[in-house]
Amino acid sequence: MPPGPGFHAGGRPGCRPDLFRGPMHTPPRTGVRAPRGRVTGMLEPSAAPARTTMARNASVSVIIPTWNEAKYLPALLDSLQNQTRSPLEILIADSESTDGTQDLAEARGALLVPGDPRGPGEGRNRGARAARGDVFLFVDADCITPPDLLDAIVAAFEAPGVIGGATGFMPARGNAAERALFSLANGYQRAMTLWGFPHNAGYCFFFRREAFQALGGLREDMPLNETHDLALRSRSLGRFVILPQAVLTSMRRFRTYGYVRTILKEYIASTILYYATGRTSAERFRPAPAR
C-alpha cells in the first residue's frame, strides 16, 4: 500500500554505530505506582523488527516525561481522554516533581514511573521500560493533542516499512510572529525528513515497540537533540514519517529564556554541533517555570 497523504517518509535506510550500553531494567507493575529508584543503564538494543504493517487494533502506550508540570499536565490528559481511540495506558515518567505533579497523575489514573531528574531522554526511556503497548507515543507535558492523533498514528503503520514518526507542532497561545516561526520549523522538519535526514523536534513522536527497543531507546548522554538523533538512527530499520496532525505547545521556554537565546543556542547551534560531532553541548535548559 503506498503511503497515505500528508506525511513524509524518511530516506534510504542507513547505518550508524550502536551508541547504547547497559542492561535493560524493567520495573514491575504494581498497581498505579512503579517502584522508585535509579535506572542504571539505557535500553539494551534488541533484534531488529520484521518490516511488516501493523494491525488496526494495535495498542498505544502514551509516555509523558515530567518535572513540575502540574499546571500543564491536566490539559494534556484531557486531550488524551478525548481521543477517538483510547490509549492502552498513560505513563508519567516523573523526575522528583515538588508541585503536586505525581499526585495529580495518580488521581487521573495514570501509571506513575518515578525516578531521578536526569533529563527527558532518561525519563522517556524509563517510561518505555514500563510500557506494554504495541506503539510508544511520547508527548511533552505542555502539549495538547488533536482528537484523532492515536488513530492517525496507527493508520500510519499501514504503509510498508514505517517504524516511527512525529507530528507537527504549533503554539497554543501564540501571536502571529510565533505562529510564523513555528510554521518555518515545521517546514524544516518535513523537508529534512523528505530529503532522507529524518528530523524529530521532540514535542510528540512515536515508534513501534520493537523498533524503539531495537534502537536502544534515546541517548541519555545528550542534553539536547536526543530525539533528533533517534530519528536519524531509525533509518537503519525503516521509514520515519511526519504526520499532518499537530500538537499545540506552550511558548514558556521562548518567553522565559528569550527568542534569540533559545533559537540560536538551543536549536541552531546544538544542531550544527550534533551534525559535526555527534554530540551536543553539556549545558542544557531545565524546563521553564510554569507560566
Q: Is residue 41 part of a domain?
A: no
Q: Is residue 31 part of a domain?
A: no
3-state class (DSSP) for residue 94: strand
Q: Is residue 283 part of a domain?
A: no
Task: List pLDDT tens digits, range 81-129.
Answer: 999 999 999 999 999 999 999 999 999 999 999 999 888 899 999 999 9
Give, rounded to a whole angstrom, the gap between the first and last alpha carbons of the chain.
45
Among the listed ranges 199-208, 213-222, 260-269, which one has the minimum average pLDDT value?
Answer: 260-269
What type of residue is 281?
S
CATH number for the domain spanning 78: value is 3.90.550.10
178 exposed, middle or buried (CB, 10 Å; 0-12, 13-18, 19+)?
A: middle
* Mean of per-residue pLDDT scores for the chain: 81
Task: List pLDDT tens digits, range 48-90.
Answer: 555 566 778 999 999 999 999 999 999 999 999 999 999 999 9
Angle of CA points 130, 49, 42, to nearest 5° = 40
**% of the chain at pLDDT higher than 70:** 70
Q: Is residue 89 part of a domain?
A: yes
Q: Is residue 38 part of a domain?
A: no
The pLDDT of residue 3: 37
Q: Compute the distance between CA of residue 180 and CA of residue 247 in angstroms, rounded to an integer.
A: 16
Cα–Cα distances in Å, from 209 out to 125, 179, 216, 253, 291? 12, 33, 11, 30, 34
Q: DSSP state, 32?
A: T
Which residues are paired to 233 by β-bridges?
A: none
Those residues with Cβ within 8 angstroms of residue 133's Cβ, 6 or more apart along the chain or in another chain: 58, 59, 60, 61, 87, 88, 89, 209
Q: Is residue 124 part of a domain?
A: yes
Rounded mean pLDDT, 142-160: 97
Domain with 251 in it: 60-277
Q: Compute the distance between CA of residue 168 and CA of residue 202 in angstroms, rounded to an integer.
A: 10
Which residues are paired to 164 by β-bridges?
A: 207, 240
Task: List pLDDT tens digits, range 7-41.
Answer: 333 333 333 323 232 333 333 333 334 333 333 34
Q: Is residue 290 part of a domain?
A: no
Q: List the 111-112 sheet strands across, edge first.
A: 111-112, 89-94, 60-66, 135-139, 204-208, 162-171, 239-249, 143-144
Q: Tell me what percent of the chain is helix, strand and coil, each rounded to the nearest 5.
A: 35, 15, 50
The pLDDT of residue 51: 53
* H or E element at residue 136: strand 135-139
**The total number of structural domains that make up the chain:** 1
Total-model pTM: 0.79
Q: Is residue 191 part of a domain?
A: yes
The pLDDT of residue 53: 67
